[in-house]
A = this chain, B = another copy of it.
C-alpha cells in the first residue's frame, strides 16, 4: 500500500498517528540540522520534517538528495507544527519522517510546477502532463468534471436518457467542413466525424425516445481562430412534444441548477430579449447584461442641424460611459483612435462630456446646443459625470462598432466581473442569414430549424424577414447554448432545402434518411446544444477554453505534445486505397 492518507487530509486531530504518504517533492528547505520537504499530490501539500535530533543522519542525507518532482513514499508520525501555516488546510501539522522510499526520480522540469509558472504557452503545451500538475490547470479539469456530472444529474432527474450516437457517420455539405475517415472495408468511401449529432437526435425523437441528451465530442475542420478547437464538447439535448416555452423552461432550470450547485449563485427568471431588440439595444446577439450602457438611437434629435455626417447616416447611436466626463483630452483621443482601428472600423466618433455641473461639452458644439445635447443625454440615460460616445453610419455596421466600444469600455471600467453571472435568452432569431459575398441565404441556426407558424410563405417573398423559434442562451456576453424547434414535416423540410439551394436530388442523397423518417409519424420536437468548453470556462470565471481542456490543440490544429497529426506509412495508405496528391 503506497499511502494511508493523501497529502491533503491530515489535520491536528491526526497528531501522533503513524502515516504513509506518497507524492511529489514540491520543494526542499535545508536548514542544516533540519530539512523540510513539501510533499504534493492532487489533494494538497503536507510538510515533511527530517530533524537531526529525531531522525538518523542517513535519513537527513536522503532528504537532502530529493530533487524537485521526485516521487517518494514516506512513513512517519504526524506531529504539531511549531510555526503553523494558516493558508493551507494541513498547515497545523507536519510529518516526522522515519522512512523514505524513492519511487521515481525526475529530471529538472522545464518550468516551475507552481500556481504561477515561468513556462511559456508552447513549453507548457509540449509538457502538458507537467502543466496539469499545477493547481490552476488541475483544478480546471476537476471543475469541468464536476460541471459535467451536475449536468448529467439534473437531466437524468428530469427523465432525459443519455444515448450515444455514432461517431462514424456520413459527410454532409452543411456549413463547416467535415473531418473524413477513409473506410478500408468499403473501398473509396469515407465516414465523416459528426459536427453535431443533430440528425441522430432528431431520429431519436422520431423513435419515441422523448427526452434525449448526450455530452459528446463534435468535430469541425475549420481554420482555427483563437480559442477554437477542431474537436469540442457539446451538451446535446432534444425533447419531443414540446413548444419553445417547454425547452426554455427546462434548460433555464438546468442553468440555474449549475449556477447554484457549482457557484452558489441563485438567479430568478432569466430575462428574454428578441434578436431584433438585442441588436438594437446592444448591437450584439449575445449581449453582456452585467452592466447597462444601452444604446440610445439619436437620429430623431440629430437631424437638420447642418452636421452632414449625421444627416446622411442611416443610424446615429450613442452610449453613456459612467464617469467618462473626467477623461483627459489624451484619453479621449486614444478612444477615438481605438474605434478607428481596422478591427473596429468606425470612421470617427463624436463625444459629449456631461459635466458634473450639468453642462455639456462636445466635439460637435458647432452644430448642437446645450438643449440638443441634453436630449442625447436623456436618450442614452447619461448622468452628470458621464461621457456620451456617438457613432454613425450604416445601421448594422455602426451597431457592431458601438457594441465593440461598449464591451471594451466595460472591460476597462471593471464592469465585466467574472464572479457575477447574468444569463438571458435571446429569442426570435431570423431563420435565414444573407451571405453578403454570394448573395445567397443560408440557415442561421441550421436547415432543420422550423420557421415560425404562418411564416413559411414569406420564404418566397421576403426570406430575410422570416423568424424562427430559435433561441440562444447567453451568459456574460457569450453564447453558451443555442437551439430551435425543428421541422417535423417532410414537405416543409423539402421546401427549406429548396430555399437553401439544394436540388431535390442533393437533399435526398444527403438527408433522405431524415425526410423518410418524417413520413412515419415524426412528433413535434426541438432542442438545444450547449458548448461545454465555453460554459465551463465562463462558470470558472476565465477567458480561454483551452485552459479547461486536458490536451488541447494549437491554432494549427496540432497536438504538440504527441506531435499529431503525422505522416502515415505507405502500406497504411495502400490499404486505404489512397495516394497523397502533393507536389514533391
A561 to B511, CA, bound (A): 11
Q: Chain B residues with Cβ under 8 A from A71's Cβ?
A: 521-523
Residue pair B180, A182 in contact (C-beta under 8 Å): yes
Residue pair B524, A2 in contact (C-beta under 8 Å): yes
Q: Please tell me if A551 contacts chain B, counting CB pairs below 8 Å.
A: yes
Residue pair A556, B186 in contact (C-beta under 8 Å): yes
A242 to B73, CA, bound (A): 12
Residue pair B203, A106 in contact (C-beta under 8 Å): no
> What 1/0 flags go to A243-279 for Cβ under 8 Å of B?
1011000000000000000000000000000000000
A142 to B159, CA, bound (A): 10
Q: Please tell me if A223 contacts chain B, counting CB pairs below 8 Å.
A: yes
Minimum CB–CB distance for A508 against chain B, Å: 11
Binds B, one of A354-362, A373-381, A564-572: A564-572
Binds B, one of A127-135, A299-307, A440-448, A537-545: A127-135
In the complex, the chain B residue whose C-beta lies closest to that of A207 is B132
Q: Please tell me if A563 contacts chain B, counting CB pairs below 8 Å.
A: yes
Minimum CB–CB distance for A462 against chain B, Å: 28
A581 to B572, CA, bound (A): 12
Q: Please tell me if A226 contacts chain B, counting CB pairs below 8 Å.
A: no
Contact of A164 among B129, B245, B550 (CB under 8 A): B550
Binds B, one of A48-56, A82-90, A427-435, A512-520: A512-520
Q: Chain B residues with Cβ under 8 A from A145's Cβ?
A: 156, 161-163
A107 to B517, CA, bound (A): 10
Residue pair B156, A149 in contact (C-beta under 8 Å): yes
Minimum CB–CB distance for A152 against chain B, Å: 6
In the complex, the chain B residue whose C-beta lies closest to that of A203 is B129
Q: Chain B residues with Cβ under 8 A from A551's Cβ?
A: 165-166, 200, 203
Residue pair B576, A577 in contact (C-beta under 8 Å): no
Q: Please tell me if A282 contacts chain B, counting CB pairs below 8 Å.
A: no
Minimum CB–CB distance for A166 against chain B, Å: 5
Known: A169-B562, A524-B2, A581-B577. A203 touches B557 (CB 8 A): no
Q: Chain B residues with Cβ under 8 A from A12's Cβ?
A: none
In the complex, the chain B residue whose C-beta lies closest to that of A180 is B568
Binds B, one of A187-195, A339-347, A386-394, A413-421: A187-195
In the complex, the chain B residue whose C-beta lies closest to that of A575 is B177
Q: Chain B residues with Cβ under 8 A from A575's Cβ?
A: 177
Q: How many copies of this kind of chain does the complex include?
A: 2
In the complex, the chain B residue whose C-beta lies closest to that of A106 is B521
Q: Which of A184-227 contact B (CB under 8 A)?
A: 184-193, 199-200, 203-204, 206-211, 217, 219, 221, 223-224
Q: Please tell me if A499 contacts chain B, counting CB pairs below 8 Å.
A: no
Residue pair B488, A104 in contact (C-beta under 8 Å): yes
Q: Chain B residues with Cβ under 8 A from A169's Cβ?
A: 559, 562, 564
Residue pair A563, B521 in contact (C-beta under 8 Å): no
Known: A523-B104, A524-B2. A41 touches B168 (CB 8 A): no
A572 to B179, CA, bound (A): 10
Residue pair A568, B167 in contact (C-beta under 8 Å): no
Q: Chain B residues with Cβ under 8 A from A156's Cβ?
A: 145, 149
Known: A489-B104, A578-B580. A190 touches B568 (CB 8 A): yes
Known: A581-B578, A581-B579. A568 touches B162 (CB 8 A): no
Q: Chain B residues with Cβ under 8 A from A245's Cβ?
A: 1
Residue pair A221, B184 in contact (C-beta under 8 Å): yes
Residue pair A243, B42 in contact (C-beta under 8 Å): no
Residue pair A243, B1 in contact (C-beta under 8 Å): yes
A211 to B42, CA, bound (A): 9
Residue pair B149, A162 in contact (C-beta under 8 Å): yes
Known: A181-B180, A217-B164. A210 touches B41 (CB 8 A): yes
Q: Chain B residues with Cβ under 8 A from A456's Cβ?
A: none
In the complex, the chain B residue whose C-beta lies closest to that of A205 is B129
Most buried by B among A131, A179, A231: A179
Q: Please tell me if A24 contacts chain B, counting CB pairs below 8 Å.
A: yes
> What 1/0 flags go to A392-412 for Cβ under 8 Å of B?
000000000000000000000
Q: Please tell me if A138 contacts chain B, counting CB pairs below 8 Å.
A: yes
Q: Please tell me if A502 contacts chain B, counting CB pairs below 8 Å.
A: no
Residue pair A42, B209 in contact (C-beta under 8 Å): yes
A473 to B61, CA, bound (A): 45
Residue pair B520, A129 in contact (C-beta under 8 Å): yes
Minimum CB–CB distance for A64 against chain B, Å: 18
In the complex, the chain B residue whose C-beta lies closest to that of A168 is B231
Contact of A43 among B142, B210, B565 (CB under 8 A): B210
Q: Please tell me if A553 contacts chain B, counting CB pairs below 8 Å.
A: yes
Which A-B residue pairs are the 9 nearest by beta carbons? A132-B207, A106-B521, A170-B564, A189-B565, A2-B241, A69-B521, A42-B210, A183-B565, A129-B207
* Apart from the given pairs A41-B208, A168-B559, 13 other A-B contacts in the complex at a CB distance below 8 Å: A1-B246, A2-B243, A3-B241, A133-B208, A144-B163, A166-B231, A167-B217, A170-B559, A184-B221, A186-B557, A188-B580, A189-B567, A513-B561
Interface residues of A (CB under 8 A from B): 1-3, 22, 24, 40-43, 69-71, 73, 103-107, 109, 127-133, 138, 141-142, 144-145, 148-149, 152, 156, 161-171, 177, 179-193, 199-200, 203-204, 206-211, 217, 219, 221, 223-224, 230-231, 233, 241-243, 245-246, 488-489, 513, 517-524, 549-551, 553, 556-559, 561-568, 572-582
What are 9 residue pairs bridging A and B, where the CB atoms are less than 8 Å apart in the complex?
Answer: A103-B524, A106-B519, A129-B203, A132-B208, A145-B156, A152-B152, A167-B219, A177-B184, A181-B193
